């Protein structure tokens, strides 16, 4: 009896260890969650595309500018959560960012705009962008655009500098 129990117990223990060490998956998409460290660095927006929404239907994103105005923008994201993005026309915006894992539609990149004299903890409004992918050298972030009963998306492609 002991001979049978030992291998079964060993297999069970190995199964628990292997499952505990597997990559965390996003429940809604099945994709692996992206670690915060992959966002840290300097990123440049190289492309904007539209999914389920006409290009001219979106006048402004992030309460800042038309979607295409972000192409060529530089986003500097620091491990502390501080960051800044600068549009090609020179307009800059200080932000405080993080990764949000508890949304039903998937893992999200979220940030708050921080103005002079603001503290991030006192800012209650911000933005959440769906994380399409991030391999540490390129990433896509999708801004949901409400359309009647569903959503369209403005998708930004970033490359790390």
**What residues contact 104, with CB distance under 8 A and at least 6 apart?**
28
Q: Answer with the residue of higher pLDDT: 22 or 75.
A: 75
Cα dihedral 19, 20, 24, 29 sign: positive
Token readout for 39 is 């966002």
What confidence tier does 146 reach under pLDDT thresholds 50, 70, 90? confident
- Compute the distance between CA of residue 132 and CA of residue 140 in angstroms, rounded to an integer: 5
Average pLDDT over residues 75-91: 96
Residue with tokens 């402004």: 60
What confidence tier does 8 reach under pLDDT thresholds 50, 70, 90? low
CA dihedral 110, 63, 95, 51 (to 10 degrees): 40
Q: Is the pLDDT of residue 157 over 90?
A: yes
Ramachandran class of 72: left when φ > 0, alpha when ψ lies in -120 to 50, beta otherwise: left
Any idea where the domains of the chain sit in the sequence?
25-160
Contact 14, 8 (CB under 8 A): no
Kindly report the CATH number that applies to the domain delimited by 25-160. 2.40.128.280
The whole-angstrom distance between residue 144's C-alpha and the CA centroid of its chain comes to 12
Q: What are phi and psi of 49, to 5 degrees?
A: -135, 165
SS3 99: strand
- Compute the distance between CA of residue 22 and CA of residue 28 in angstroms, rounded to an integer: 17
What confidence tier does 2 reach under pLDDT thresholds 50, 70, 90? low
pLDDT in tens, 32-75: 577 888 999 999 999 999 998 888 888 888 988 999 999 999 99
């Amino acid at each position: 009896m002991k001979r049978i129990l030992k291998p079964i117990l060993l297999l069970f223990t190995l199964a628990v260890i292997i499952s505990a060490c597997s990559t965390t998956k996003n429940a809604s998409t099945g994709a692996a969650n992206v670690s915060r460290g992959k966002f840290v660095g300097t990123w440049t927006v190289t492309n904007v595309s539209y999914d389920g929404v006409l290009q001219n239907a979106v006048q402004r994103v992030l309460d800042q500018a038309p979607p295409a105005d972000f192409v060529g923008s530089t986003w500097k994201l620091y491990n502390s959560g501080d960051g800044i993005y600068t549009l090609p026309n020179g307009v800059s915006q200080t932000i405080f960012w993080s990764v949000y894992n508890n949304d039903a539609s998937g893992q999200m990149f979220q940030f708050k705009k921080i103005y002079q004299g603001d503290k991030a903890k006192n800012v209650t409004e911000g933005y959440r962008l769906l994380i399409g992918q991030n391999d540490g050298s390129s990433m896509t972030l999708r801004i949901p655009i409400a359309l009647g009963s569903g959503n369209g998306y403005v998708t930004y492609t970033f490359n790390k500098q």
